[in-house]
Structures are given as structure tokens and as C-alpha cells.
Amino acid sequence: MNNFTPFSALLGGIVIGLSVVFYFYMTGRLAGISGIFENAITNTSQRLSNLAFLLGLVIGPLIYFNFIASSAPVAFNITHSYLLIIPGGFLVGFGTRLGGGCTSGHGICGIGRLSINSIIATGVFVAIGMLTVTILQQFGVYL
Amino acid sequence: MNDKAISLICGIIFGIGLVVSGMTNPEKVIGFLSITHNWDASLIFVMGGAIITAGPFFYLFKNKEFSALGDKINWPNKKNIDKKLIIGSSLFGIGWGLVGLCPGPAISALATFDPIIIVFLVSMAAGVLVKKNTIK
């Protein structure tokens, strides 16, 4: 585990948790990003509010890069293979909406509420994600 | 303050949390999913930190009927574990493993101005729309 960063991970997680709590307290909505994304592109009644959340997700890192941690470049390493990006994106969109949530909706809000459904959903997507990466590694990807 | 301002502020805080946690970097997420090879357990601390922060408040608010802005709170109350939950979460798991991005970090990653993120997000939107228009 040469890249293990438990302290920044925990701190970031706490900040995310505070956002989830504040959002719920103020609006009564759970901050599941896949749901917010779906509503932003399909639901006209709360579109602006959902778009505002998504815009915040982009502004947050920009604030962080420019004003908080300007000296430390934040690593960003992503595959540039369209064979991974296009099916990957599609399955993330389709799967999260079919399963009713993603890492934030099921993994944070759902487990935070001790929802059995969310605990099972999170177990499934983590396990299948691990299986997928392990299979890709058999073909030399992500090694 | 209205719900749009609140949403923007919460999105900003959430986005800062994501970038501090390292989860906007797909390599970090792949490192977590790479259970048999150089495993990086950091993501557990991200989810753990968020859950232990939010969980007690959800418990405290469990009988709340209205939010501070006056909206009726609709708690998700689906109890049955059905095929959709399992198949949907499995398909999400495959997509997550292929790229190392889930919806939140994918949107935050726009801040890197890497055009490949737009390809990912358009594909993700296509997945959302296909689901919405084919399965009730």
C-alpha cells in the first residue's frame, strides 16, 4: 500500500459528510449525486437547484486548487482509452439509476441511515468493481 | 437563502471534500479496487469519515417532517431488495472499475479541463437517459 493516504482521505470524507448533512437539513433532500445528475438533465421542476449543486462540484476543486493548496499539485491520472471511457461512463449512468444510487447516495447517505438496501448495493458495486479491475489486470490494464 | 444558493454551497463543500480526499483522481479509486495488487485502502477512510459525520445527524433528524427551508421530507422507504438494485449496482460496479470514476468525482473532474471527462459525462448522461426511457 504505497499510496495509502488515510488522513487526507478521512478529512475529505468528513467534509463530504458535512455537505451531505447541511444539504439534507436545509432542503430535506439526500445528496446522491447520480440522482442530482439525473434530475438536472431530465426533471424540469428542480433543474436549476440541481444544476447549482453540480456547478458547485466543479467550483469546489477550482477553489481548492487556486486558493487553498496552490503549492501542491493534485494528482489526476485517468485512462484515455475510449474502449474504457465510453462503456464505463454509460454503465455508471445506467447502473446507478437502475440500482437507485451511487457511492454518495447508497454508500454515504444510505449507509449513514443504516438502510439495508444501501448496505447491500454498496457491497455489490464495490465487489464487482474489484472484480472488474482484477480482470482488467489479467490483460495488463491498470498494473 | 433559497435552495439554489444552498445547493451551490453544498456542491462546493462536497467538491472540496472530494478533492481533499483524493477521490477525484481515478488512479486512487482504481488503487482501492485493485484488491490483489498494491491495494490502497484510502477510499474506506473517505466513506467512513463521511458516514460517521452524517450518520448521527440522520439519526437525530429521523422524525423530522420538514426541512429548514420548509420542504416536506420524503425519506426513501424502499425495503425490498430486488433485481434492479442488484443488477444496477453490478453494472455500476463494472463501469466504476473500467475508469475509476463515479458520478460525483466525474463531475468534479471537469475542474481539470481534461476533455476526456466530457466524453465520460456524455456517456454517463446517455446511460441515465436510456435507463429512464426503457425501464420504469
Determine the average pLDDT of the residues in B20-37: 95
Nearest to A53 by CA among B54, B71, B76, B3: B3
Is-contact B127 A97, C-beta < 8 A? yes
pLDDT at A2: 59
**Distance of residue A119 Cα from the nearest chain B Cα, in angstroms:** 11
Give the C-alpha separation, A90 to B123, whole Å. 5
Q: What pLDDT shows up at residue A73?
A: 57
Residues 6+ apart with CB under 8 A from B85: A99, A100, A117, A120, A121, A124
Q: Which residues of A41-50 are buried (b: 16+ CB within 10 A; e: fewer)?
A: beeeebeebb
Give me the pLDDT at residue A76, please.
Answer: 83
* ipTM for the complex shown: 0.96
Q: What is the pLDDT of residue B136?
A: 80
Residues 15-54 of A with CB under 8 A from B: 15-31, 33-34, 37-38, 41-42, 46, 48-50, 52-54
Is the Cβ pair B102, A17 closer than 8 Å?
no
Quick one: pLDDT at residue A66? 84
> Is residue A143 predicted with pLDDT exceeding 90?
no
Residue found by looking up cell 481539470 in the block: B112
For residues A100-110, average pLDDT: 96
Instruction: Name the nearest CA neighbour of A32 among A89, A112, A91.
Output: A112
Tens digit of each residue's pLDDT (9 = 90 or more) over A15-46? 999 999 999 999 999 999 999 999 999 987 88
The confidence score (pLDDT) of residue B75 equals 84
Tell which B residues from 36 to 55 touch A, by Cβ distance under 8 Å. Answer: 36-55
Give tens-digit pLDDT for B69-84: 999 998 887 778 899 9
CB A52 within 8 A of CB B5: yes
From the list A49, A98, A111, the residue facing B7 with the nearest CB is: A49
* A131–B contact, CB cutoff 8 A: yes
DSSP percent split of chain A into helix, strand, coil, nearest 5: 75, 0, 25
pLDDT at B89 over 60: yes
Q: Is the pLDDT of residue A72 over 80?
A: no
Whole-structure pTM value: 0.96
Closest partner residue to A21 (CB to CB) among B45, B57, B76 is B57
Residue B35 pLDDT exceeds 90: yes
The cell numbers describing B132, all together, are: 429512464
Backbone angles phi, psi at B101, to 5 degrees: -125, 130
Cβ of A127 within 8 Å of Cβ of B93? The answer is yes
Q: Across-strand partners of B66?
A: B72
Q: Give mean pLDDT, residues B29-44.
A: 96
Select the residue from B81, B96, B113, B133 to test the A interface by mutation, using most A Cβ atoms within 10 A.
Answer: B96
The cell numbers describing B20, all together, are 481533499
Q: Does the distance separating the beta carbons of B110 and A120 come in below 8 Å?
A: no
- Which residue of B54, B114, B127 is in closest CB contact with A90? B127
DSSP annotation string for A95-108: HHHHHT--IIIIII
Residue A74 has pLDDT above 70, yes or no: no
